[in-house]
Amino acid sequence: MLPKLLSEVFEEYLIKNQRLKWNTVDGRTRAWGKLIRAKGNMLISDFTYDDAEDFQVFLFNQGLAPGAVRSYIKKVRPVINWAWFKGYREGDPFKGLKLPKVPQKEIRVYSDAELCGMLASATILWQARIIAAASAGLRKSEVLNLTVKDVDFEKGLIKIQPKKKTDYTWLWSPKNYEVRRLPLTENLNSLLVRILEELPTGQPYLMLTAKRCWWLQQLKKQGKMNPRMMGIPDDNFSRPFKRILKQAEISDGCFHDLRKTAITKWLLSDLAPQEVQKLAGHSDVETTLNYYAACRTDIIDRARQSWANIGATGLEPATS
């Protein structure tokens, strides 16, 4: 088999793996670009463990945080392993490389007061977006790609499901390609009914403005709608949400924290972790369990009480 350069391997990888989601492609493209800048466009068969170490040093020298360094290495390895399976090289040169440790961040959960503050500062459309994420645990991409057919008003359900390319919809699928059924709360139901009443004829998307949806449809007809647009069909998203947070006098947080809020509330309502995993669409229950300690605010009190119970058995400190 002819030897291949790093750039040639990645080009073929993208051609053979066209089902990858746009954000995965974007992340791996940036990571592979850094790899080439670090080591040059060398033959992939010559890439060794020493080169893997050099790449990690290169990332640190760029001033990247440990979490970013880990992320870039994790995005490079699937391509390396694909090249191994294809016979372009032998083994995984990153095997055994000690990655930097990253402190676990505290999970941000919005309080009821903060949620009320957001809703008071938001338009009807943004109220629906916020409640969909905070009550049904939808990701941003899932919120923006929600259509009329995804909502069962009679049964009180939201269905997260793939979309086919049609005259009115573009190709899209959930993160893990799984179909999920989620609760439709009364307040979200009311908001969606109001949005539905004003929805232009032929527009299936509930969480997009008529102007934005029309523009995207024009791009789709011209073949100019790229996968990134399909995944996040509203590119003016972060700025309005930050403005809502500011008006609500919330100094930190992001839209994804609304989903985290929903997950913690499910766990606090005594749903089993496996049930929450299914609702959240996590690929494994370990991801779900990361939320458990964060949402159980009574852990310290219960731990203190356990020692108090021991003390009551005669282990109290001696008194003079």
CA 55 – CA 37 distance, rounded (Å): 9
Strand 157-160 vs strand 180-183: parallel, antiparallel, or unpaired? antiparallel
Per-residue model confidence as pLDDT tens digits over 197-237: 999 999 999 999 999 999 999 999 999 999 999 999 998 99
Domain residue spans of the chain: 6-86, 112-259
Task: State the DSSP code for 313.
Answer: I
Q: Which pLDDT score, from 0 to 100, does residue 312 have?
A: 47
Q: Which helix (H) or strand (E) holds 188?
A: helix 186-198
Q: Which pLDDT score, from 0 to 100, does residue 301 have?
A: 60
Nearest to 43 by CA among 7, 94, 79: 7
CA 25 – CA 23 distance, rounded (Å): 5
Please name every residue paired with 151 in a beta bridge, in sequence order, or none if there are none.
158
CATH 3.40.50.1860 at 112-259, yes or no? no
Strand 180-183 vs strand 151-152: parallel, antiparallel, or unpaired? unpaired
Please name every residue paired with 180 in a beta bridge, in sequence order, or none if there are none.
160
**Single pTM value for the model:** 0.80
Q: Chain centroid to CA 105: how far? A: 16
pLDDT beneath 50: ranges in the chain? 312-313, 315, 320
Q: Which pLDDT score, from 0 to 100, does residue 160 have?
A: 95
Q: Which pLDDT score, from 0 to 100, does residue 316 have?
A: 52
CATH for the stretch 6-86: 1.10.150
Q: Which pLDDT score, from 0 to 100, does residue 303 have?
A: 58
CA 285 – CA 90 distance, rounded (Å): 33
Nearest to 144 by CA among 116, 121, 174, 117: 174
Which residues make Cβ contacts (< 8 Å) with residue 217, sequence separation at least 6?
168
Q: Which pLDDT score, from 0 to 100, does residue 319 have?
A: 55
Q: Which pLDDT score, from 0 to 100, does residue 268 have?
A: 79
Which residues make Cβ contacts (< 8 Å) with residue 66, sequence separation at least 6?
100, 101, 102
Sign of dihedral through CA atoms 99, 104, 108, 109?
positive
Both structure tokens of 277: 């995993």
